[in-house]
Amino acid sequence: MADGLNTARAMRVAEIMQDFKNIQMRISSIRANPSAEEYNEDGFVVLRQCVSAAQQIILDASVRRFMAQKIYLRAAAALRWASNRNAILQGAPPSPGHAPALQQIRNTLRTELASITDARVEACLRQADTNAGKYIQEDPSLAVIQRMAGRDR
């Protein structure tokens, strides 16, 4: 966790995402309108296959975003716990006098973690997308996300 590479990793993810965005924009600009006679020609068949594969990318990206959001929420809860623990201990080792406060923050952490359900994560992401006016008509359902996320674990 503290190997000093988190910033480099974050930058690499941002670079990959920017490349991904650029490629997606190029893919979305591809247009072909074959006539009925040309419909089954090799190149048009390949283009239809590419369109289908590109639609699968929305599914994959949605699943990865869902998984990343869930990781982030869990990590944020753990960081709050660590901050609260440090505030309680104030540099001292844990002692019996700290036990009630430490138990309280442990319970709070468990409650927070239990509240980070798949349904809540998906609903929050969908609501944020809706509020931002994003195109969500092809976004996968929670059941599809769970099925694919389970496959990727």
Q: What is the DSSP track for 106-149?
A: HHHHHHHHHH--HHHHHHHHHHHHHHTT---TTPPPHHHHHHHH
Q: What pLDDT, on the 0 to 100 scale, is given for residue 58?
A: 86
Q: What pLDDT, on the 0 to 100 scale, is given for residue 54?
A: 86
Outline where the chain has alpha helix (H): 6-28, 42-89, 99-115, 118-131, 142-152
Q: Which residue ranges of the chain lie beneath pLDDT 70?
A: 1-2, 151-153
Question: Of 17, 72, 56, 50, which is closest to residue 144 (Cα–Cα)?
Answer: 56
Dump pLDDT digits (tens) for 96-127.
999 999 999 999 999 999 999 999 999 999 99
For residue 65, which phi and psi values (nearest 5 degrees)? -65, -45
Q: What pLDDT, on the 0 to 100 scale, is given for residue 153?
A: 55
Dump pLDDT digits (tens) for 50-61.
988 988 888 899
Whole-prediction pTM value? Answer: 0.79
Q: What pLDDT, on the 0 to 100 scale, is given for residue 2?
A: 64
